Structure 1
Amino acid sequence: MTDHEPQDRRTKPTRALVLHPDIRGAERRKEPIHALDEAVALAAALPGLDVVEADVVPLREVRPATIFGTGKMDEIKTTIEAREVELVLIDGPVTPVQQRNLEDAWKVKLLDRTGLILEIFADRAATREGVLQVELAALSYQRTRLVRAWTHLERQRGGLGFVGGPGETQIEADRRALDEAITRIRRQLEKVTRTRGLHRAARAKVPFPVVALVGYTNAGKSTLFNRLTGAEVMAEDMLFATLDPTMRGVTLEGGTRVILSDTVGFISDLPTQLVAAFRATLEEVLAADLILHVRDVAHPDTDSQAEDVDTILGDLGVPEDVPRIELWNKADMLPEDARAALEAIADRSEDALLISALDGTGVTEAVDAITAQLEGVRRRQTVDIPFSEGRRRAWLHERDVIEAERETDEGWSLDVRWTDRQRMDFEAL
């Protein structure tokens, strides 16, 4: 490639059209235009895509073979040709039959919401476990359909093959090959999970509470994480900016030492393959002593986003008795009257604070709330006691804080659940 070669020959993006089907009578969790905006943001999160057109498509019903009626299909084809679209992203589920028929009719590659999210996850996963989890989810998805390849992104990035591959050659992996690959990846994941288990056990010996940041994707968790820890975690205005939990030990103002965990952003209609695949990645939330639910209160769908987060936390099995604080983020983006109204509501609430992770508004108050909440929190820890210190073991039994006990060659290994005060009293014995 010479210096005189045109720029678009080197980094030509794939021109994409985003469509959000708005089905009459279907239950709406958000306004169609807001759903379309989120779908466009999803597309923008994938390198090498250029969204040249986006539209809400009203539908009386979904056609089993093509989703859209003949007239609408022709109308969309006209847009595709006029805008030189190479990839159509449909914000919703698309069956293998529908995908094949639409690709044949429009002569472009097509991805549904699940395929797009899988591509984004593949692009962002950073840890060994994250990569394996994505591969497992992708193979499970791939078993249901024939995946055609496309050329434009292959030169710029890796991927799963949904939006990348050698020319227009159709990939036809038989089920046996896919099943063998799935089995192989599951074995690798078991090894990785065991390693993470050892890391968790090591952390259990550290007498610091785990505070997990959760929230809808793009709510500002990573920005807050960076402000609290000084860490250089990627914090971009981009969906799924964080895909692997990042943990940092941090001393909050006032001296409270915590382990802070930043997690992947949640999203509505997350593919079931990924909810299952990333359960282990989100296991830090299950072990959290306190959950900080970061909400983007400047977003028009903030309430439904909060409901989605609560639903996924429930699906993950997070105990309801784990304390939670809602941090109403992006106060800096609110109109003055809306900001004043939310401040008044937050002032009357015991578990909500209005903040701006970007400019620091309310963050000091949030740290105070975290500290106050953790003072009475009972958290789990593993304690090793030699045989010569039986009185310390008896002290723990008297206070009924032991959840499990194992005898070792040197003494006892006990899993305890206690408060900071009990821990300090124990250490003073």
Structure 2
Amino acid sequence: MRVLLSTWGSRGDVEPLAGLAVALRGLGAEASVAAPPDDDFVELLGRAGVPLVPLGPSVKSVVSGEKPPTAKDAFWLAPELVRARFEVLGKAAEGCDLMMGSGLMPAGVRDVAEHLGIPYVYACFQIFGLPSRHFRPGQRPGTPSSEDETDSEVLWKQDAERVNGLYGEALNAGRAKLGMPPVDNVRDHVFTDRPLLAADPTLCPSEGMTNYDDLVQTGAWLLPDERPLPDDLTAFLDAGAPPVYVGFGSMAAHAPSDIARVATESIRAQGHRVLLGSGWAGLGLVDDADDCFAIGEVNQQALFRRVAAVVHHGGAGTTTTAAGAGAPQVIMPRIADQPYWASRVADLGIGVAHMDSTATVESLTAALTQVLTPETRARASEVAGMIRTDGATVAAKMLLER
């Protein structure tokens, strides 16, 4: 059996598919991943032994400017990705038995699958974007809904209209070239009636939270990481008490201003050492004191078991990895679903949601004061035992049975 998994987005959109591909391979299937051609993702998939099908522009080229991407950028990117999916996936999917769309609104994947007569599945990594009676849609480029509007049916209808405005013209142009009729609701067409939710049920409870009666939650798709930590990092960890880790992943222009200095001063005020993850924001040391250390990309599954706390942006992957390691968290959400993960961490008692978009030494110190307590550490350890690690295998078996 051959499976083509497709995504476009940050590491949190690519790594779960790598985990699923490895699980599928373990069950005898062949799986490849269509993803952005960023060097980080090439290395990630190569390390996992998963073939990469380059799809669309690199994510770094879109998000790593001095300022965050604008609405104008979104109205360029959306149709560009749709056209890329028709062109790239139409060739890559030949001979496949199943196609999956995930990541940033994968309009075009289902359409290629239907044209080739291949079953299609949509997967998401949180419930934030799924229509629901319990929360408002997230922000998208286009005409915003009124803050006074409270009718969920109206709000989600307007969300569908914004999706159509971004993707509809390009999608229906691609379908027309294949002799297929137009689609009038791109979002619902992409999501299908039975999406897969690849998120841990403790961190992201879904029952009754969306408008989908047939939503299937498998647990998060984790990619096992057996890499040892670098020798210099291990030496730093062994030289003293566990440090506090600070990293913002692929949040380049979105990282809080001056966060390296603010975090260093706040963590030192708590009597802890500092570990900075450079990430796409390029966080670096603010001085040459020996209580601070900076790292690039490493095995976070191993690292987070050795830190006092994790300060991060609240991506689904980082949140799940920290929770599974039993590390207390301070989440400083920047965009999209990150406020949701921040609120879940706070609700579970395993960390603090720093919801202010700016960070000061005072605000981060206050958050760390709450997190760096024996009570929070004990609760984080308790929740770690609840985090499922078999989500990718559950999903792989389900897909093969389909």
Same fold (TM over 0.5): no
Structure with the higher fraction of residues in strand conformation: 1
**Computing the radius of gyration over CA atoms, which structure comes out larger, 1 or 2?**
1
Q: TM-score, normalised by structure 2?
A: 0.29
Structure with more contact order per residue of length (Cα contacts < 8 Å, sep ≥ 6): 2
Q: TM-score, normalised by structure 1?
A: 0.28
